[in-house]
A and B are shown apart, each in its own frame.
Chain A
Amino acid sequence: MTSFESSRVAEIHRELHTHLPSEPALRVKALESLLVEKGLLDSRTVDAWVEAYTEEIGPKRGAHVVAKAWTDPAYKARLMADAPAAIDEFGYLGGATSHLKVVENTDTVHNLVVCTLCSCYPFSILGIAPNWYKTAAYRARAVRDPRGVLAEFGVEIGDEVEVRVWDSTAELRYLVLPQRPAGTEDRDETALAGLVTRNSMIGTQRDLSPKTGEAS
């Protein structure tokens, strides 16, 4: 065994036995422990947040809001007029969202949401933004070539349909209200919520399937 190999073996041995975290993980640990000591953060808050957003929240809240709007015209009117207040009616824990506007798809309008600056996103009702939403490619192309982006997601938009792109900010985020699929007149709110996908509420999906939550 050469000395290079033996030192490499020693290095691997050390890594295996110490589990030194990655550089960003170390920095996060350092930051969290300092913030907790300064009373700026409760580590239980961080743990609970991570658990909730990794396991639970996802887009279910948003889907529920959409299904309610489909089945209850009075609710839809309140949602379009003042989305945060209408969403608060559900009583989601943790103050669902303070600055939100709902934009409605129709036969002649398709809405697409982006954040060109960073990754502003209504995560309290849609969960963590998908990775593509955070890419520089999406942030640039959604504005420059929305129809091209939509085509990439398998969404063909006819020329008669206007595509509106909404640029989210820290002060105003957007939720797309997709169209209710045909043939779902007999479904109740819960069944309808199961048809609503995350992408349909961002706008990278247009037609929802009456059968599953998958792209039609």
Chain B
Amino acid sequence: MSGPDADAIGPLKRKDGEPVFDEPWQAQVLAMADALVQRGAFTPVEWSDTLGEELRRAERAHSPDEATTHYQAALGALERLLDRKGAVTAEALSDRRDGWARAYLATPHGQPVKLDNG
């Protein structure tokens, strides 16, 4: 590094060749958000405003300035927007998350995971 300025900005250029998705859920979040905008479940402005709020929250919490933080914020924005719209409440989401976790833990390796709603 040639000086403090290069140090500060160096990571940007280093990220240039990174794959844009580390894990499938990151792509799925963007896919869901785009599909919901296309069908009018919320507007592009509502989406970018909510994502912006989540990103500022992540920055205040000193989350690492990385793609994963960005996708976590996108997921949080999607959850919050759908809860606010009454489309998927936080409670319903939490119940469903627990249901999937139980299903994964109860399914032997190699078999398809099925959700047991009971």
Contact = CB atoms under 8 A, between A and B. Distances in A.
Contact of B15 (A34, A115, A135, A154): A135
Interface stretch (A1-9, A24-32, A77-85, A157-165): A24-32
Contacts of A34: 88, 92-93, 96
Interface string A121-156: 000000111111011111001000000110011100
A21 B35 CA distance: 23
A132 B15 contact: yes
Given A148-B9, A170-B48, A136 B55 contact: yes
Interface in B30-58: 30-32, 34-36, 38-39, 41, 43-45, 47-49, 51-52, 55
Interface string A63-89: 000000000000000000000000000
Could you tell me the dominant secondary structure of chain A's interface residues? helix
27 contacts: A22-B25, A24-B71, A25-B24, A26-B100, A28-B29, A31-B82, A33-B96, A33-B100, A34-B96, A35-B32, A35-B82, A35-B87, A40-B39, A41-B35, A49-B35, A118-B55, A120-B48, A130-B18, A131-B70, A132-B15, A132-B16, A134-B67, A137-B12, A137-B65, A141-B12, A170-B44, A199-B16
The 3 A-B pairs with the shortest beta carbon distances in the complex, nearest first, are A170-B44, A49-B31, A170-B48
Given A118-B48, A129-B20, 16 more contacts: A19-B109, A24-B23, A25-B25, A28-B25, A31-B88, A33-B115, A34-B92, A40-B41, A41-B35, A46-B35, A53-B30, A54-B27, A95-B38, A137-B11, A141-B12, A154-B13
